A and B are shown apart, each in its own frame.
Chain A
Amino acid sequence: MISAEQIREHVLHARPDAGLELISNLCPSCQDSLLVAAEDAVEVARLLRDDPELRLDYCSNVTGVDWPERPVRTPPGSAPAGQRMRAEVAARPGCFEVVYHLFSMSLKHGPVVLRMRTENRSDRVRLPSLTPIWHSAEFQEREVFDLYGIRFDGHPDLRRLLMWEEFEGHPMRKDYLPPAEDDVREPFAAARNRMVQ
């Protein structure tokens, strides 16, 4: 299996100006990821798919992650080992992230984790769609749009997937407050409404 670092070098070799950053993951799964700049994403994705050594022809999983603004608890740099991710994230202003898990069906390797970040959580939430590269992202990007409100430029059919068209809000955002359940009997209602918040 090729490591994320090797892939990064490989891509930078072909496209030296691509914005590609390695994000290490220190938990036992050791799945490091590559953070790609939004403007280079389509190019990099195409390269990953078509490069004869990588041939990441199969995009398995596409999902969003919400990172709200957080008070900086550990100043970056001074974080103890094993805490790098939090330090790194906490230092950032809030953003949405889209994560793609790529595999190669022809060379049978993977996963390669590709991430993109929006600039903030309110108005600058556009990212390029990778559906033209991997058709399998079509429904999943729609789902991310539906549940997180990330807009994908270049998506052929960006509509809500699971919620209905008239629905307002994006339920998977960490700050989404669901309406209270109203037909639950009293002693349970409080617990259950607490649960969804």
Chain B
Amino acid sequence: MKLLKHIRFLPGSGILKGMLVTARNLIGSYYDPRRLRTVRYPEERLPLPENSRSVPFLVYDGDDAETGLRCVACHICETECPARAIHIVNACDKRGKVLKRPHRFEIDISACMGCQICSEVCPFDAIMMDNAYNHAAFERFDSLTLTRERLAKPNAYFHRIKPTEAAEIDSRLAADRSRMEERRRKKEAANATHNESAR
């Protein structure tokens, strides 16, 4: 019989060996954190790693969520979102000219799968991944549709949840800005000399 082959010592020794393991784990769970990895959840929470992601939010610079929004409503995230969870409507001025900022920006977090493709494709670093995970609501539609007001969060918040990434993006944006500034100044200077020589 095949069974006999595996019984080395006496019948039941395999089970006894297994019991030894459970005993070790039982006792170990009192002092070894590797053997007891859980915490009592709602009161105690494990720190989230910096990369941790849940749903996206919109970053704004300064303190005004209206004007500081980095988003220019280019609709790239809307087209790339695999779940089609983003809906954007551009703002218009009085004469109906389309402006480069969102009038409505909505994310349906009941469909959003937190894949962060939107923040990856956004060329303006305007949409970032949040790590807040408590989104439970009593109603499926409006409470789970994050509007622009609920999505907009200050850059300081971004710095708080993801310091490394935020610092990186800030320095990149600052470098971009200074390069633009440089270029503008050069152009102005060139224009000035041009005008001078023309005169």
Contacts and interface: CB of A to CB of B under 8 A. Distances in A.
Indicate if A touches B (C-beta under 8 A): yes
Interface of A: 184-185, 187-188, 191-192, 195
Interface in B111-148: 111, 141-142, 145
B84 interface: yes
Contact of A188 (B104, B108, B142): B108
Given A185-B142, A188-B85, A188-B108, 13 more contacts: A184-B111, A185-B108, A185-B141, A187-B87, A187-B104, A187-B106, A188-B87, A188-B111, A191-B78, A191-B84, A191-B87, A192-B111, A195-B84
Interface in B65-122: 78, 84-85, 87, 104, 106, 108, 111
B146 to A, nearest CB: 12
B63 to A, nearest CB: 29
A195 B82 CA distance: 9
Contacts of A184: 108, 111
Interface residues of B, number: 11
B173 to A, nearest CB: 30
A187 B142 CA distance: 12
A196 to B, nearest CB: 10
Contacts of B85: 188
Interface string B144-161: 010000000000000000
Contacts of B104: 187
A185 B145 contact: yes
Q: Report which residue of A184, A188, A191 has the largest number of chain B beta carbons within 10 angstroms of its beta carbon.
A: A188
Contacts of A187: 87, 104, 106
A137 to B, nearest CB: 31
B131 to A, nearest CB: 24
Given A185-B141, A185-B145, A192 B84 contact: yes
Contacts of B142: 185
A195 B85 CA distance: 12
A188 B87 CA distance: 7
A195 B111 CA distance: 14
Most buried by A among B78, B84, B85, B108: B84
